[in-house]
Amino acid sequence: MTEATSRTYAESLDGSDPLAGFRLRFEIPDPAVVYLDGNSLGRLPAATADRISTVVHGEWGDRLIRSWSEGWMDRPFEVGDRLGAALLGAGPGETVVCDNTTVNLYKVLGAAMSMRPDRSTVVAHRGEFPTDRYVAAEVARSRSGSVKWLGPLDPSVPFPVSPVTANDVAAALHDDVAVVLLSVVDYRSAALADIGAITRAVHDEGALVVWDCSHAGGSVPLDLPGSGADFAVGCSYKFINGGPGAPAWIWAAPRHHGSMTNPIPGWMGHEDVFAMTGDYAPAPGIRRFMTGTPSAIALAAVDAGVALLEEAGMDAVRAKSTALTSYCIDLADSWLAPFGVEVATPRDPSQRGAHVTLRHPDALALTQALTDRGVIPDFRHPDGVRVGLAPLTTRFTDVHDGIASLRALLEALG
């Protein structure tokens, strides 16, 4: 075993990690578990229970319905502002935390289509997360339009490793395209799109762009205003550590605030929530993307997760993410390549997010066997073992031990 693949080397990397102390601020009841799926569900911050307890006992339990006028009504926007500033490069009043990613995608895609009433085509990638594809197809159908698909037709074909480029998108554009929907980080390969270049290509053809930041928020520094983006959505239960089923978020460029419409109007998006008027009148700004009643309890959990990332700083988070993924790829090359494992993630750190996907024909069985051993990655169809590396909680020794366990399984298979 060379020095670079020894556990001692991994321990030295942990010893010099400036973010190592953040792991101590999460609930880790069983240190023997090697958790490599933080890009599906982030760990529980230790502060979250106290934050929720305050809402449950101090606000709901004591103040009851008075809590709506004592802070609950503004919480989706307060948490949104903190999330936007810390993770998205956004200014005040540009981000709201509400609903879930699927609902928010429907809302912003519908809004974008309405802003281009003379166009009826949505451009999306066949490799997008299923929700994105389903919503894109439904929004296009509801406007008597269609989807122009990028990428391979056959879902059984191994997914591409390289990011979608501005040239790829430009080749699909025409004068009937209203909106382009793409993910910043591919949920399978971790390929990282060039937001600025793609957005410029879309705008050159008079269309709008919606970015799904679910695998980027909290792992990759974003500057949505600086990139020229129109709309963005993302979840908060992955790298943001907001908890299972945590509410998602919407960001909208301020230049669109006066013209965007919410296709799911609800009382919380009304200009006067308690007016109870007969006709819907949208609230100004980002508030109009509110629909139903928000969960004060869930918002407290998201806020606790955002606070940790804000304190760590996204530049430091990105630096560790790059180091973790590079180390994982190095180990895979040294230990797993002889067993036919391929790295299905871009090798250029500037083109990948915070996970590494390892391709093998027995990926599903290997993922289950690893989980049975207390090493928890994720499986992605058709042949990917996805190793999620959450910078605030994942150690270099976790990466070492996880890849070593995978090597032992492959050795046993012969």
pLDDT score recorded for residue 155: 63
Collapse the DSSP code of 400 into the 3-class scheme (helix H, G, I; strand E, B; otherwise coil) and give the result.
helix
Looking at the structure, tell me whether residues 198 and 108 fall in a common domain. yes
Looking at the structure, tell me whether residues 145 and 265 fall in a common domain. yes
Q: Is the pLDDT of residue 282 over 80?
A: yes
H-type alpha helices, 43-194: 46-53, 75-83, 101-114, 130-142, 166-172
Looking at the structure, tell me whether residues 140 and 251 fall in a common domain. yes
237 is annotated as an active-site residue: yes
Q: Which amino acid is at 62?
A: D
pLDDT score recorded for residue 414: 77
Q: Are 227 and 253 in contact (CB under 8 A)?
A: no
Question: Any binding-site annotation on 149?
Answer: no
Q: 343 - beta bridge partners?
A: 358
Residue 39 lies in a domain: no
Q: Is the pLDDT of residue 14 over 60?
A: yes
Give residue-wise pLDDT tens across range 245-255.
999 999 999 99
Listed residues 255, 281, 311: the one ending a domain: 311
Structural domain boundaries, residue 359: 3-32+313-413
168 is annotated as an active-site residue: no
Question: Any binding-site annotation on 26?
Answer: no
148 is annotated as an active-site residue: no
Q: Is the pLDDT of residue 153 over 80?
A: no
Q: Is the pLDDT of residue 176 over 60?
A: yes
The mean pLDDT of the chain is: 97
pLDDT score recorded for residue 277: 86
Looking at the structure, tell me whether residues 84 and 210 fall in a common domain. yes
Listed residues 269, 288, 311: the one ending a domain: 311
Q: Which of 237, 289, 327, 396 is catalytic?
A: 237
Listed residues 311, 332, 348: the one ending a domain: 311
Which of 88, 119, 389 is CA-nearest to residue 225?
Answer: 88
Q: What six digits make up the tokens of 144? A: 């008597």
Q: Which of 43, 51, 386, 407 is catalytic?
A: 386
Question: Any binding-site annotation on 267?
Answer: yes
Using CB atoms within 10 Å of the CB of residue 315, give its burial: 0 to 12 exposed, 13 to 18 middle, 19+ buried: exposed
CATH number, domain at 262? 3.40.640.10
Residue 44 lies in a domain: no
CATH number, domain at 364? 3.90.1150.10
Question: Any binding-site annotation on 95?
Answer: no
